[in-house]
């Protein structure tokens, strides 16, 4: 079995794969203050709840955009599983050519998402990740990562409204009844949901122009389903895209000793 770990700024996603098939997955808040031993305890508890024997998990791989947490999780997995994880980053085979001015500057989550999207849906493709930041990534027909766009994410945009507009409350983000809100909460929900849907439509359309034609568009991230429902450009919502990408990259490097 393989443990795939995606450390994001807001959430950390964990997946257990058995012969390429996802058998369990969890999403927890990213906590920069937890110690190695707290993460070990958390993992063991999750395994126990889902009835997974920790002895059956032989390997692990990490994609991280939170550098201070990478070594903490690395040592936690080493203690928990008895083997060193693959850290996805520069020098790790991904099977994808990166047409980026400085390839090491591309977040590991964006790369593994692009790898998974190309393998699962072909190219050209566009990946929209509704995470802490909203990212748009383009992959060519031949499987080259071309680059993308980065915008503020939904969560931090809502938090900025709450913090900087004295009369605006914190809200739960759900699909609004319509775009013309009849109260403040409804109006905020409409602005965020339809605003981000419109952003996705426009950026995807511009990317398709630069790609020279049509492209398959896949969305991922915690709020992808909510926003995708209001768009016409998103072909598929795949919440496990990044975990699948970690698995694919691990399989490419499984015979390479961890260093």
β-pairing, 145-152 vs 133-139, is: antiparallel
Q: What is the distance between the alpha carbons of residues 117 and 245, in angstroms, rounded to a whole number?
A: 8
Q: How far is CA 173 from CA 135, 189, 235, in A?
A: 19, 6, 22
Let me know if 109 is a catalytic residue: yes
User: Do 102 and 147 meet the contact criterion of CB atoms below 8 Å apart?
Assistant: no
How many Å apart are CA 188 and CA 202, to the nearest integer? 21
Tell me which residue of 239, 235, 236, 233 sits closest to 203, measured CA to CA: 233
Could you tell me which residues come within 8 angstroms of residue 237 by beta carbon, excluding any fewer than 6 positions away? 218, 219, 220, 224, 225, 228
Q: Which of 6, 109, 238, 244 is catalytic?
A: 109
Are residues 231 and 200 in contact, defined by beta-carbon separation less than 8 angstroms? Answer: yes
The sign of the CA dihedral 65, 139, 215, 206 is positive
Q: If you count them, how many residues does the chain have?
A: 259
Show which residues are catalytic: 109
């Amino acid at each position: 079995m393989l443990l795939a770990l995606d450390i994001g700024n807001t959430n950390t996603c964990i997946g257990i794969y058995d012969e390429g098939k996802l058998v369990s997955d969890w999403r927890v808040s990213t906590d920069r203050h937890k110690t190695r031993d707290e993460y070990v305890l958390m993992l063991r508890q999750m395994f126990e709840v889902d009835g997974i024997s920790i002895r059956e998990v032989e390997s692990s791989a990490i994609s991280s955009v939170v550098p201070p947490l990478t070594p903490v999780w690395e040592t936690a997995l080493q203690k928990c599983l008895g083997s060193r994880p693959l850290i996805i980053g520069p020098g790790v085979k991904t099977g994808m050519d990166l047409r980026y001015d400085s390839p090491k500057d591309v977040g590991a989550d964006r790369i593994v998402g692009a790898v998974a999207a190309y393998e699962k849906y072909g190219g050209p493709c566009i990946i929209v990740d509704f995470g802490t930041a909203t990212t748009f990534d383009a992959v060519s027909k031949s499987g080259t990562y071309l680059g993308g766009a980065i915008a503020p994410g939904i969560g931090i945009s809502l938090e900025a409204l709450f913090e900087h507009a004295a009369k605006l409350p914190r809200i739960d983000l759900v699909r609004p009844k319509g775009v013309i809100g009849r109260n403040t909460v409804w109006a905020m929900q409409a602005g965020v949901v339809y605003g981000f849907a419109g952003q996705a439509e426009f950026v995807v359309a511009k990317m398709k122009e630069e790609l020279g034609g049509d492209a398959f568009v896949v969305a991922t991230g915690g709020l992808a389903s909510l926003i995708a429902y209001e768009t016409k450009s998103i072909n598929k919502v795949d919440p496990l895209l990044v975990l699948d990408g970690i698995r694919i990259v691990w399989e490419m490097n499984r015979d390479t000793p961890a260093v």
